[in-house]
C-alpha cells in the first residue's frame, strides 16, 4: 500500500495535476498546503473532486523541510512516495512503482532525479533522491534540503526509472530559504560527518555493501588525517579557507555530475561570494536578535547534531498544529524563513537563559 505525499504553497494547479497523475497507483494522496487563504480554499474545493486526496493546512515556514514529519504522520500506508509539485515520475516508474515496492528487499530507494527537464526531454545532470521509503525507515534532519537518514537498507532503482525536475513547472514565488545557511557553521567534527554523509548520499551508497564501507571508511580516514596534521580541535569552528574548500568541492562535484565543470577560478570566486553573503546574513541576524557569533555557532552545532525539525519539536505533529492555530488566530505575525529563523533563535535564547539561572 502506497501513500503519495505532496507539499504545496500557492501552487494549486501543479499540486492537483501531480496528484491526478498518480491516483491510479497511490492508495492515498496527502497534500500539506501552506498557501495563502484564497488559494488554500481553492485547493480544498478542487481536491473534493478526487476521493483519495486529503488536504491539511500548515503554516508557511518558507520551505517544506520542517513539515516532512508532519506530512508523514498523515500517511496511513507502509510505503511513502514524497514528490514536489515541480517534479514528475517518468512513465516507467509510474507504471511499475507498485510492483517495485511489492518485491522490495530494502527499506529506502534512491531514485535518479534529472535536475533540468521538460515534458519532452532532460539533461544528463542528476542527483540521487531518497523519495520512496517505508514509513518508519527514513529520518529527516539537517538544516535545509537534506536527504533523510536511512534506518534500514538502501537500494538504487535502475536507469529506466527516474524523477524529472521540470523547469516548466517550477513555482517562481520568491523564497529566501538559502538564508537558513547562516546556521551552517561547522566544527571540525561536523565537517567530517557532513562530508562523509555527502559522499554516501551523492553516490547513493548502500552502507551494507563492500563498496559503501570502503568509500565511507576512506573518507573518514582522510578527514581524520587532515584534522590531525593541522592540529585542529574537533569542537572548534573551521577556518574561512575550510569553508571555501567545503563549498568549492561541493560545487565541483555537482559540476562534474553535470558534465561541464567550466572555469575552476570562476567556481572558486562564486563560492567566495557565497561565503560573503552568508557572513553578511550572520551579522544581520546577530544585530536583529541581540546575539553573538558564538551564539550562532552554538546554535549551528545543535542543528548539525539534531536538525531543525527535532530542535523545534516538529517531529511531534501536535506542535505543528499548535503553531498553525496560533498563526491562523493572529498570535503569530511572521511567516516564511524569517519565522523559522526567529523560532530557532528564540528557543536558543530561552534555553540559554534557563542554563544561566
pLDDT in tens, 30-56: 999 999 999 999 999 999 999 899 999
When pLDDT is averaged across residues 227-240 and rounded to a whole number, the result is 79
Q: Are 5 and 81 in contact (CB under 8 A)?
A: yes
- CA dist 27 and 5 (Å) reads 11
- Residue 213 — pLDDT band, cuts 50, 70, 90? confident
Q: Look at residues 343, 5, 341, 337 and name the one whose alpha carbon lies nearest to residue 174.
A: 337
Summarised one tens digit per residue, pLDDT across range 167-212 is 888 875 666 778 899 999 988 888 777 777 767 666 666 666 777 7
Overall average pLDDT of the 245-259 stretch: 75
Distance CA 157, CA 78 (A): 19
Task: Specify the DSSP class assigned to residue 238.
Answer: P
Q: Which three cell numbers stand for residue 263?
A: 572555469
Give how far the C-alpha of residue 41 lies from the chain's centroid of Cα atoms, to the nearest Å: 27
Q: Are 302 and 270 in contact (CB under 8 A)?
A: no
* Conformation bin of residue 82: beta by default, left when phi > 0, alpha when psi is -120 to 50: beta
pLDDT attached to residue 205: 64
Confidence of residue 311 (pLDDT cuts 50, 70, 90): very high
pLDDT in tens, 78-90: 999 999 999 999 9
H/E segment holding residue 216: helix 210-229
Longest CA–CA separation in the chain, Å: 64
Angstrom distance (rounded) from CA 14 to CA 56: 17
Entry pTM = 0.86
Summarised one tens digit per residue, pLDDT across range 62-74 is 999 999 999 999 9
Cell (9 digits) for 320: 505543528
Q: What does the block give as the cell for 140?
A: 529527516
Cα–Cα distance measured from residue 250 to residue 20, given in angstroms and rounded to the nearest whole number: 36
* 133-137, 189-193, 239-243: segment of lowest average pLDDT: 189-193
Residue-averaged pLDDT of the chain: 89
Amino acid at each position: 500500500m502506497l501513500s503519495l505525499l505532496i507539499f504545496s504553497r500557492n501552487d494549486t494547479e501543479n499540486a492537483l495535476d501531480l496528484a491526478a497523475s498518480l491516483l491510479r497507483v497511490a492508495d492515498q494522496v496527502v497534500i500539506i498546503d501552506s498557501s495563502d487563504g484564497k488559494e488554500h480554499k481553492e485547493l480544498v474545493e478542487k481536491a473534493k473532486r478526487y476521493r483519495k486526496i486529503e488536504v491539511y493546512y500548515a503554516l508557511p515556514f518558507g520551505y517544506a523541510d520542517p513539515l516532512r514529519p508532519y506530512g508523514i504522520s498523515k500517511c496511513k500506508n507502509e510505503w511513502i512516495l514524497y514528490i514536489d509539485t515541480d517534479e514528475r515520475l517518468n512513465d516507467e516508474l509510474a507504471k511499475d512503482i507498485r510492483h517495485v515496492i511489492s518485491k522490495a528487499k530494502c527499506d529506502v530507494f534512491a531514485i535518479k532525479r534529472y535536475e533540468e527537464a521538460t515534458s519532452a526531454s532532460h539533461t544528463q545532470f542528476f542527483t540521487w533522491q531518497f523519495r520512496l521509503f517505508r514509513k518508519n525507515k527514513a529520518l529527516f534532519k539537517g538544516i535545509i534540503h537534506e536527504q533523510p537518514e536511512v534506518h534500514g537498507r538502501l537500494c538504487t532503482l535502475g536507469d529506466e526509472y527516474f524523477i524529472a525536475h521540470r523547469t516548466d513547472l517550477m513555482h517562481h514565488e520568491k523564497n529566501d530559504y538559502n538564508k537558513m545557511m547562516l546556521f551552517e557553521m561547522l566544527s571540525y567534527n561536523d565537517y567530517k560527518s557532513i562530508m562523509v554523509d555527502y559522499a554516501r548520499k551523492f553516490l547513493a551508497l548502500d552502507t551494507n555493501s563492500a563498496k559503501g564501507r570502503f568509500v565511507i571508511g576512506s573518507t573518514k580516514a582522510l578527514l581524520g588525517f587532515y584534522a590531525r596534521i593541522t592540529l585542529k580541535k574537533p569542537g572548534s569552528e573551521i577556518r574561512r579557507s575550510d569553508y571555501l574548500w567545503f563549498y568549492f568541492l561541493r560545487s565541483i562535484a555537482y559540476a562534474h555530475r553535470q558534465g561541464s565543470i567550466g572555469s575552476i577560478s570562476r567556481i572558486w570566486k562564486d563560492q567566495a561570494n557565497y561565503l560573503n553573503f552568508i557572513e553578511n546574513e550572520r551579522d544581520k541576524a546577530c544585530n536583529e536578535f541581540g546575539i553573538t557569533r558564538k551564539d550562532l555557532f552554538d546554535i549551528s552545532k545543535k542543528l548539525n547534531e539534531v536538525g531543525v525539525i527535532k530542535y523545534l519539536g516538529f517531529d511531534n505533529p501536535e506542535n505543528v498544529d499548535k503553531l498553525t492555530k496560533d498563526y491562523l488566530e493572529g498570535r503569530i505575525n511572521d511567516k516564511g524563513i524569517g519565522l523559522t529563523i526567529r523560532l530557532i533563535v528564540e528557543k536558543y535564547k530561552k534555553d540559554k537563559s534557563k542554563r544561566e539561572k
